[in-house]
Every structure is written in C-alpha cells, then in structure tokens.
Chain A
C-alpha cells in the first residue's frame, strides 16, 4: 500500500501523454542507458580499466594554510611498484587553472591554502602501493595561521593569502530611491552552512597516453568536457587537439564536477609513465577534492506599506568562497540579483561580497547562490506577514511578481512568470493526514530511536517561493553544438552534453523522434570530437543543448522534405512529418520516413545560442540573466520541541516548467531536488573549524535516507515559454531552492522559535 505520492499532473498533461507516439516529447520515454544501469553493466568512469594500467593517487595538504619549505620524494621512490611521482615543478604548461580566474594550482608549490590542497601525485601498481608511497613523501610545512573569518577578508585586516587578494568580488545593487521607507520594517540575520553535492559516484578518470607521448585520451566523469579540455591542455602545454576527452559514466554531479579535480593529475601521470593511469577518489578524498556550496551570512531589511506591500529591500550578503576563485564571482551575482525573490520591489540597496579565506574552496552547487538568497528573503516574507497581520500565503500573493515586472537590476522578467499560480496551486494541494494517536514509531520524529511519544510531537506548516535564473549570465557567450544524421531511416545524434543522470540522453532521443518521425535514435559517443555543449548545470541543457539538437534535427528534416519534394515534383512547403510518415499536407502522398530517407545521407551540425546578456554596471543594473523559472513549496513538519528533532512529513510544490517534455523525468527532478533541499534544511553541513573539515565521511555528513524522505505531492504549471526552443524551462534547480526555507518556516511555526540558520540543529530548536 503506497502513500499518496503520485504526481498531481494537470489534465492537459495526462491527455497529451495518452495521445502521443511512444518515445516522443511529452511522453515518459525510456532511458537509453537504463538497462545497463539496472544490470550493473553501465560503465561509470569508476569502472573503466585498461591493459597495463597503473593507479594514481594524490598527496594532499594536512594544513589549511602553510608555506611549503620542501618536498622530499626520495622515500617514495624506494617503494617497489612506484612508477612516477610528480609535483609542481613537473607541470609542463600553465601551473594554475580555474573556471573564471586561473588562480588555483595543479600542485601547490610555495603555499598550501586549504586543507586538502594537492601537493603531489604518484603512479603505482596497486592502490595500496600508492597509499604507502604517499605516506613516504615528506613535506616540510611552515604552518601559518589560517584566515577563516570572511569579515576579516572584507575588512582587509589580514595579509593577503593569495596574490590576487582576499576579496574575490564585491557587487552593489542600487535600484530606485535608496531613501524610501515604509511603515513596516522587518529585518533578520540568516545563515547557511556549507552543503556538499555528495554525488554518489566518486571522482574517477582513466588517462591513456598516445604512443608519441604528445597527446592523450582522457575518460572522465565531468560536467563540461570542453572546459576540462581547455584547462588540461593549458596545464600540460599541449594543443587542445591532442587532448581528447571522452565522457566516462557519471554518478551524479550537482555542480561539484564543474571545476576540475583529478583531470590534470591523471593526464600528467599518463604522459610521464607512458601507461594508462586510473585515478579515483574515495569518499573522504572526494570531500576534499571538490568545491562545496558557499556558506553564507545574509542580513536583510524589508520596508513595506501598512498592507504588506514591499517598498524597499536592503541586504548585505557575504559568501565565503574559500581558498580559490572557482565560480564565486558568478555565484555572488546570482545571490545579489535574486535578493528580492519572486516579488515586486521598486527600491533596493544590496551589497554582496565573495571572500577568499583558507576555508575549503566553494563553487557551483545546484541553485548556485540563489539557495542562500531565497532562505533569507523567504524568512523576511514571513516576518513581513506577521508584522502586517497577513498569512504567509497572503503576503506572498500580494507581492507576487508577474511577467514583465523588473528585477532590482532593472531587467524586465519577460519569461512567463506564473508566481501567483505557483503559490495558489501549492496551497491547494491536499494536506497530509494528521499524525494518528497510534502512529508507528517510524512516523515520529526520532524514528526507530524511539525518542518521542505521540504527545511530544507538534506539527508546523511553512511556505517558500523562489525565482531562479536559467542558464549563464553577465554576457557569457553560452552555446551548444549538436549533430544530426539521418541515414536509411536511422537517426544518429552526436553532442558533447554531459549526461550526469538528469536524462539529457533520453530527451535528445525524444526530440529526434518528434521532429524526424523515426523511432530508433542512435547516440554517438559523448566526447570532444564535436563542438562544445557547455556545462550540465544552471538548468541549461534542456534549453540550450535541447535547442541545438532540435535545430540540427529540423535542418535534417528540411533537407529530407526537400529531397522528397524534388523526387515527387512538389513544393517542399507542402510536406510535413506526421507520426512516422512524410505526408503531403494537401494531397494524398504518404511515405514512411524510413523509406523516404533510404539512400540519403543527411548530416547537419548546428550551434545554438540564447539571446545575449549584459554585464551589470557599478550599481548592479543590467539585463544580466537569460530567463527565469518559478516555484513554490509548502512544508509540513512534525517536531519534538523538547529534543529538537524534526520529521519532514510532506512537501507540496507547484513548479513552473514551461512544458513537461518527460513527465516522469520531471517528477524525478522534483523529488530529488526536494531531498537535497531537505538535507540542507535539517541535516547536511560540512563542519569546518579553523579551516579543518571535521566530517569528511558519510558517517557524519548526513544525506537523507528512505526514512527521511517526505511524501511529495506536486503540480506542474505548463505555460510554455516563447523564448525556449522547446517551450520548456530547465527544471533541475528550482526544486531544491524554496523547499529549504519552507521547512525552516514550518519549524518556526511548530515551535515558535526564530530559526535563522540552516541546517537547523536540535539545539537550535530546544536550547536558548
């Protein structure tokens, strides 16, 4: 007997699904990689193996900040089975890399700036040999006092820990009348801990050197093949054509694979030894080896009219970027430009800072700066509701943005903006049943730990609403490339878009089936033998790479129809594809696509770009984003206030998806994103003290289990976006953004406590 967790799909979607040909857009098409995945035959990067291969491993700094006096590898060379040892002086090309600024070192040479920074790497015949070799390398560190307080970085009271300085970026937004005030003023301090992407498939790569030692093939689990290639080639001092990247199966990403981790190390060892090198991280090393979500401290003050309409917002946001730049400048921009939330706001003063410290480097994680801003602005909206005597739903409806309203950056939100619908439909979803008097212990906060009896439990309800930009911003020339071939009725697609589990490989096939009228769509290897598809991040692949596949298929279709038209002596404009046939729309000609394409070799490669975006000026004004999506969440929680334990009972959500291209896949994104937002709300945090990570393992970095997952009920809002090539907005990020503040609000509702921090810890609820 199941719980009520079925998607409350709209009637339109249900009708559409039953009328469509299997496998086209709008259906629950099967994943092409599904069968191998359930059989355990799918080759993740971790599963790759090559004849004559060696294992590689990395030596990492035990200190968050230290000067390196010397590195002595002689002891490691004495160990039988060690074939190569590399340090900073062995990096043949550029010694540093980075997505935005190349300030991060392949291997530390003069300084280590975070606990876990790579100092050396070895190649050996067995992982255990590698471990012993690393142990035998002696690094003489002069330990320094780490800079760990972002405020010191902003104030400039500490020496620079990096030549580029301790402030990565500052951005101000000034909008409207900075002197505006309102009769209602509410303010608050909001803090967010450091979340980790914690994808399950640890970092892994297999590097296979070319025979001439001047090139290689790198099989890598990553989010952006071409960006990896660019950095690897630069660091190896090789032309990009000699560095060929192939996507190894990816076990999740969520932003953590945007920065490179073991790519250069693995490649360098391969070139040094002339043998294939397999590298993979264990879970502990994975925590040290990738960037995390920025911890943040945000102060906000909202001025409003007596009836709760926002007049002005003020905010100060501090994002701690840790030791290296990564994507901090972009994360900051997302944070400050989303400070107002999905609400109309005529006046604003916002200051945002991204700092450099000796804390672990932070960068991309699903939500990318908006998660932090949303926690703050939703906390503010509830304070505003209380001050104005409105319900949390009413205050949000009263301020809800509509299509065309501007952000505080001056940019009009010309994406479809169904904020009111998101809120109303979320609120209309059925509430869960009350906790019965004889509730099973597993249904109570504390679960099988039996900490609570029914009488100790109080229920609370909370809301959160979010706006999230889609795709990249600030003038970035983002594009994707796709190739479509149609030979004898079989379509083949090639693209470099990284499949990380989100299902793009499935979507691409759906597009081709819909446009070309074929059922069988082959997928070529995902590698750098074609132009870039950009990153699998920022909720962009469906729009941009989907747009590229769509455009390439359309071009092929055009050529096909032209060929048929010529063969039958009629204008191509008369022809169309209907189901799996080419049809004359005004006549009786009907030819199966398979027959029509027989003997033809149609082959088109297309680059798809979205419209241009702008930089922000010094007052944070400019059309810096491409498009936006909206979502609302309602959280129902049961709390044991005396022990501070929380059970998230149900999450209800209505999400603005534009068009559900694969409803089951959308459900998966919603439920998965909610789980991550839940984790951030009540259990997930990388605990850092004096720059040292205290919990680099799944023992103490807690991910939600099946016993923590709430019931999820959802509604899809399908108002196709005219800008989006398929009408669909990206759906990956919104599910994890406003669910966290909704849960925090529900805890406040249940306990009366002013929760200003996530993750909420038991002591935050039950102790003062």
Chain B
C-alpha cells in the first residue's frame, strides 16, 4: 500500500474573527487548533492536552464555547469562529482582559486565552452569575498556577463594572 501524502490538494475555507481564510495543502485530520496555530498565524489558542480536558484551546464556534482541539478543521467550513485574537480590535483590551490583569489572574498565562474566551461566553449568556454558576461555567478550563481565586475575582470585577455601567 502506498503511503498517502500528508498534504491534501483540496482547499477549504474557514471564517475566523470575521475574516475568510483558505487552508491549502493541509492534512485533513488536523484539528481546528492545529490549523489556527500553524496555518492561520493565530497562535493565541493554546494546546495543553489535545483531549478536551483543559480548555486552553477554547474558541467560539457559532457562538458556542468549544475546544478547538476537538473540532476537525475541515468540517468547520461554514462556522463562525472567534478566537482570543478576535475579541477586541488591534491592541485594545476587553474589560475581561483588563480585569484579569488588575486582579492578578495571570501567572504563566498558558490557560489565559481559553479562560478569557470562556468568561466572555459566560457573561454574554449570564451577565450576573452566582459564584457557583461561574465555577460551573469555567469548570472546563484548568489553571495550574493560580488556584482560580484571582480568576473569580476578575469575573466579579467585570460583573460589577458592567452592572454599574448598565445602571447609568
């Protein structure tokens, strides 16, 4: 049996952060995480386990927070994909990103992009989560450095400041 070449001549198209990307010469078994990082120049999403057990690769796929390592990239051709790089234009920081910095929620930072995406997703669907709701919503994102305390503080800070702004 002849060895199949790695790269496939087929081209497929992905919609990422509002832009269209053609993926060519790829091995069709590549995960979305691999394609984002190695082919589309978007290394913000991280791979810590490639099994969906850590959440470091969390991206939004048609508005749902999923693990990019578990999405076969070639099957996501019609999906609206948002990565951490797409949350704010250029050098701007979202309020969630700023809160992570202010509250000391960033140490090594490997889990941070996935968490930022997950927190954005949480607050979009539940603007004033209880402590347990926050914990459950983020239970798919592992952090090994912080023990989560400062991360919860960051979420609380965003909730408070958004509620404050809404009140005005």
Contacts and interface: CB of A to CB of B under 8 A. Distances in A.
Contact of B148 (A1, A80, A201, A671): A671
A283 B107 contact: no
Contacts of A33: 109
B107 A668 contact: yes
B46 A44 contact: yes
Contacts of A198: 144
Nearest to A698: B53
Contact of B109 (A79, A81, A251): A251
Chain B interface mostly: loop
A201 B47 CA distance: 8
B81 interface: no
Contacts of B98: 38
A252 interface: yes
A46 B34 CA distance: 12
A200 B146 contact: no
A552 B65 CA distance: 48
A671 B150 contact: yes
Interface in B77-107: 83-85, 88, 91, 93, 97-98, 100-101, 103-104, 106-107
Interface in B103-151: 103-104, 106-113, 116, 130-132, 134-136, 138-151
Contact of B5 (A80, A698, A706): A80
Residue among A41, A132, A676 with max Cβ neighbours from chain B (10 Å): A41
A40 B84 contact: yes
B150 A200 contact: no
Interface residues of B, number: 63
A81 B135 contact: no
B122 to A, nearest CB: 11
B56 A34 contact: no
Interface in A189-214: 198-202
Contacts of B45: 40
Residue among B98, B110, B113 with max Cβ neighbours from chain A (10 Å): B110
B108 A128 contact: no
B49 interface: yes
Interface residues of A, number: 69
Contacts of B107: 252, 501-503, 668, 672
A670 B29 CA distance: 42
Contact of A3 (B48, B131, B138, B142): B131
Interface string A119-133: 000000110110010
Interface string A706-724: 1101001000000000000
B47 A443 contact: no
B110 A39 contact: no
B116 to A, nearest CB: 6
A252 B144 contact: yes
Interface in A457-492: none
A2 B153 contact: yes
User: Which 6 interchain pairs have the tightest Cβ spacing?
Assistant: A40-B44, A501-B108, A37-B109, A671-B147, A251-B110, A675-B147
Given A672-B107, A706-B138, A706-B141, 14 more contacts: A30-B101, A34-B101, A38-B97, A40-B113, A128-B6, A199-B144, A201-B48, A201-B108, A249-B109, A668-B145, A668-B150, A671-B148, A706-B134, A706-B136
